A and B are shown apart, each in its own frame.
Chain A
Amino acid sequence: MGAQRKGATRAEDSDELARVPLQAILLADSFATKFRPITLERPKVLLPLVNVPMISYTLAWLESAGVEEVIVFCCAHSKQVISYLESSGWFSQPNFSVTTIESHNSVSAGDALRLIYERNVIQGDFILISGDTVSNMSLTQVLQEHRERKKKDPNAVMTMVIKRSKSSPITRQSRLGTDELFMAIDPNSKQLLYYEDKADYSKGVICLDKLLLTDNSSISLHNDTQDCYIDICSPEVLSLFTDNFDYQHLRRHFVKGLLVDDIMGYKIFTHEIHSSYAARIDNFRSYDTISKDIIQRWTYPFVPDVKFGGNSATKLERQGMYRASVVQSRSAEIGPFTVIGIGTKIGSNTKISNSVVGEGCTIGSNISIEGSYLWNNVTIEDDCKLMHAIVCDGVVMKSGTVLEPGVVLSFKVVIGHQFVVPSYSKVSLHEQPIKQDSDEELEYADNSSGIGEPSCTVDKSNGVMSSQLSEEQSQPTDELGTGGVGYVWSICEGSHEEEWRHSIAPIPADKLAEAMQTTEDDLELITQDGSVLPASGELKPDCIDSDDDDNEDSRDDSIDFEKEVEATFLRAVHENIKEDNVILEVNSLRLSYNKLFAECAGAIFYSMMKLALETPHTSASELCNNAVSIITKWKKLLKSYLNDIDEQIEVILTFEEMCLESAKEFFPVFAKILWHLYDKDIIHEEAVLKWDDEKKDADDSDKVFVKQSEKFIQWLREASEEEEEEEGGGEEEEGNQE
Chain B
Amino acid sequence: MGRGRERESESPRNSRSLCSAPMDFQVVVLAGGASKKLIPLISKEVPKALLPVANRPVLSYVLELLEQSNLKDLIVVVEGQDAAVRVGGWISGAYVDRLHVEVAAVPEDVGTAGALRAIARHLTAKDIMVVNGDLVSDVPPGAVAAAHRRHDAAVTAMLCSAPVSGPSESGSSSGKDKTKKPGRYNIIGLDPTKQFLLYIATGAELEKDIRIQKSILRAVGQMEIRADLMDAHLYAFKRSVLQEVLDQKDTFQSLKQDVLPYLVRSQLKSEVLLNGAPQAEENGNEKVNFQKNQVMVSRILANASTPSFHEFSGLGTNDSAPRTHKCCVYIASNRKYCARLNSIQAFSDINRDVTGEASHLSGYSFSAQNNIIHPSAELGLKTTVGPHCMLGEGSQMGDKCSVKRSVIGRHCRIGSNVKVANSVIMNHVTIADGCSIQGSVICSNVQLQERVVLKDCQVGAGFVVSAGSECKGEALAKKEK
Contacts and interface: CB of A to CB of B under 8 A. Distances in A.
Given A204-B215, A206-B214, A522-B215, A540 B205 contact: yes
B271 A540 contact: no
B262 A530 contact: yes
A180 interface: yes
Contact of B257 (A187, A221, A524, A540): A540
Given A206-B212, A207-B210, A542-B261, A180 B316 contact: no
Given A208-B212, A523-B269, A542-B211, A220 B262 contact: no
Interface string B32-51: 00000000000000000000
Which of A212, A526, A547 is the most central at the interface, judged by chain B CB atoms within 10 Å of its CB? A526
Interface string B195-220: 00000111111111111111101111
B218 A204 contact: no
B317 interface: yes
A512 to B, nearest CB: 9
Interface in A516-560: 516, 519-520, 522-524, 526-527, 530-531, 534-536, 538, 540-544, 546-547
A166 interface: yes
B213 to A, nearest CB: 6
B258 A544 contact: no
Nearest to B253: A536
Contact of A217 (B111, B203, B227, B313): B227
A536 B221 contact: no
B217 A543 contact: no
A442 interface: no
A726 to B, nearest CB: 36
B468 to A, nearest CB: 43
B228 interface: yes
Contacts of A257: none
A530 B202 CA distance: 16
Given A540-B203, A542-B205, A206 B211 contact: yes
Interface in A429-476: none
**Looking at chain B's contact residues, is the secondary structure mostly helix, strand, loop, or mixed?**
mixed
A614 interface: no
A206 B203 CA distance: 20
A583 B261 CA distance: 45
B254 A527 contact: no
Nearest to B223: A221
Interface string A216-232: 11111111100000000
B27 to A, nearest CB: 25
A169 interface: yes
A543 B262 contact: no
A167 B217 CA distance: 11
B249 interface: yes
Q: Which of B203, B227, B316 has the most CB of A within 10 A?
A: B227
A535 B254 CA distance: 10
B56 to A, nearest CB: 35
B224 A169 contact: no
Contacts of B227: 213, 216-218
B261 A169 contact: no
B316 A516 contact: yes
Contact of A166 (B111, B212, B221): B221
Interface string A349-389: 00000000000000000000000000000000000000000
A208 B210 contact: yes
A182 B217 CA distance: 9
Nearest to B248: A531
Contacts of A217: 226-228
Contacts of B119: none
A609 B208 CA distance: 39
Nearest to B199: A542
B225 A218 contact: yes
A541 B211 contact: no
Contacts of B187: 213
B210 A213 contact: yes
Nearest to B261: A542
A522 B220 CA distance: 16
Interface string B82-101: 00000000000000000000
Nearest to B215: A523
Contact of A223 (B184, B201, B218): B218
A542 B187 CA distance: 12
Interface string A52-68: 00000000000000000
A531 B211 contact: no
Interface in B248-290: 249, 251-254, 257-258, 261-262, 265-266, 268-269, 271
Given A531-B271, A534-B251, A224 B222 contact: yes
A189 B79 CA distance: 48
A218 B251 contact: no
A668 B217 CA distance: 57
A547 B261 CA distance: 14
A212 to B, nearest CB: 8
B210 A544 contact: no
Interface residues on A, range: 35 or more
B262 A218 contact: no
B204 A540 contact: yes
A639 B410 CA distance: 65
Given A206-B211, A221-B217, A520-B317, A526 B269 contact: yes
B52 to A, nearest CB: 33
A526 B213 contact: yes
B269 A541 contact: no
Of listed A172, A214, A224, residue having the most chain B CB within 10 A: A224
A169 B218 contact: yes
Contacts of A214: 181
Interface centre among A172, A180, A221, A526 (most CB of B within 10 A): A221
Interface in A498-529: 516, 519-520, 522-524, 526-527
Contact of A220 (B111, B202, B225, B258): B225
Nearest to B184: A213
B209 A208 contact: yes
B189 interface: yes
Given A523-B269, A536-B251, A541-B258, A219 B317 contact: no
A527 B218 contact: no
Interface string A673-687: 000000000000000
B311 to A, nearest CB: 13
A184 B223 CA distance: 9
A219 B249 CA distance: 32
B114 to A, nearest CB: 10
Contacts of A520: 317
Contacts of A167: 218
A250 to B, nearest CB: 23
A205 interface: yes
A210 interface: yes
Given A182-B214, A542-B201, A210 B225 contact: no
Given A187-B224, A535-B252, A221 B212 contact: yes
A519 B215 contact: yes
Nearest to B113: A536
A520 B212 CA distance: 17
Nearest to A169: B218
A209 interface: yes
A207 B221 contact: no
Interface of A: 166-167, 169-170, 172, 180, 182, 184, 187, 199, 203-210, 212-214, 216-224, 516, 519-520, 522-524, 526-527, 530-531, 534-536, 538, 540-544, 546-547
15 contacts: A170-B316, A187-B224, A206-B217, A210-B206, A212-B210, A213-B227, A222-B223, A519-B215, A520-B317, A531-B266, A535-B258, A536-B254, A541-B261, A542-B201, A542-B261
Query: Which 6 pairs, one residue from A and one from B, show the smallest C-beta to C-beta distance?
Result: A224-B221, A523-B269, A208-B210, A169-B218, A221-B223, A217-B228
Given A203-B214, A208-B211, A542-B265, 18 more contacts: A169-B218, A204-B215, A206-B213, A206-B214, A210-B209, A213-B227, A218-B224, A218-B228, A220-B224, A220-B225, A221-B217, A221-B222, A221-B223, A222-B223, A520-B317, A531-B266, A538-B204, A542-B201
